[in-house]
Amino acid sequence: MSASEIPGDLKFLKSHEWARVEDNGLVRVGISNHAQEQLGDLVYVELPEVGASVQAGTGAATVESVKAASDIYSPVSGEITEVNEALADKPETINEDAYGDGWLFVVKISDRGELDELLDADAYAELIENEDH
């Protein structure tokens, strides 16, 4: 996968979660296309409760593929304001559209400084490029 396929407005954790700062200042979170490719067919998603607080770099959700269960870390700290309920019936949406309809949850960020610690799209592309070799 080349860097051009990764939306430029996304920031990443090394553990393959993406964060997108939306116009209203909230941060939408999902897993990268590379991550969904590695996991294979997703069959179950366990999401946090709306109102729960999450810490940057700690587990906030779990996704399960046929092969394995994986913890999903929140890229930023804050309060969960929305979760993607549609994934309950259609977890495969993550496989089909990891950067769009396959988002997981939205965080009201408590420390915007955390965003600077995330990888930008180019740095993330380089990371997965190196992982593949």
Partner 1 sequence: MTQKTVLNALHRELGARMVDFGGWDMPISYRSQIEEHHAVRRDAGMFDVSHMTVVDLHGARTREFLRHLLANSVDKLKVQGKALYSCMLNEQGGVIDDLIVYLLGDEHFRLVVNAATRDKDLAWIEQQAKAFDVAVKERPDFAMIAVQGPSARAKVIGLLHDVDRPRIEKLGRFAAAAAQGPHGMPLFIARTGYTGEDGFEILLPEEHAVALWKALADVGVAACGLGARDTLRLEAGMNLYGQDMDENVTPWEAGLAWTLSLDEGRDFIGRKALEAQKAAGVPRAMVGLVMDEKGVLRHGQKVLTPQGDGEILSGSFAPSLNKSVAFARIPVGVTDNVRVDIRGREVPVRVVKFPFVRDGKPCEGI
Q: Which is nearer to partner 1, 15 or 95 (CB)?
A: 95
Please state, in angstroms and as integers, the Cα–Cα distance from residue 99 to each residue in 28, 30, 53, 111, 113, following that order. Answer: 10, 7, 23, 23, 23
Per DSSP, the three-state class of 87 is helix
State the nearest-atom distance from the C-beta of 44 to partner 1, in Å.
Answer: 6
Q: Which is nearer to partner 1, 22 or 37 (CB)?
A: 37
Q: Which is nearer to partner 1, 67 or 112 (CB)?
A: 67
State the nearest-atom distance from the C-beta of 80 to partner 1, in Å.
Answer: 18
Task: Give the angle subtended at the CA of 17 by the CAs of 7 and 54, to the nearest 5°.
Answer: 130
Q: Which residues bind partner 1 (CB under 8 A)?
A: 37, 40-41, 43-44, 46, 62, 64, 66-69, 88, 95
Q: Which is nearer to partner 1, 9 or 131 (CB)?
A: 131
d(CA 75, CA 15): 9
d(CA 121, CA 127): 10
State the nearest-atom distance from the C-beta of 48 to partner 1, in Å.
Answer: 13
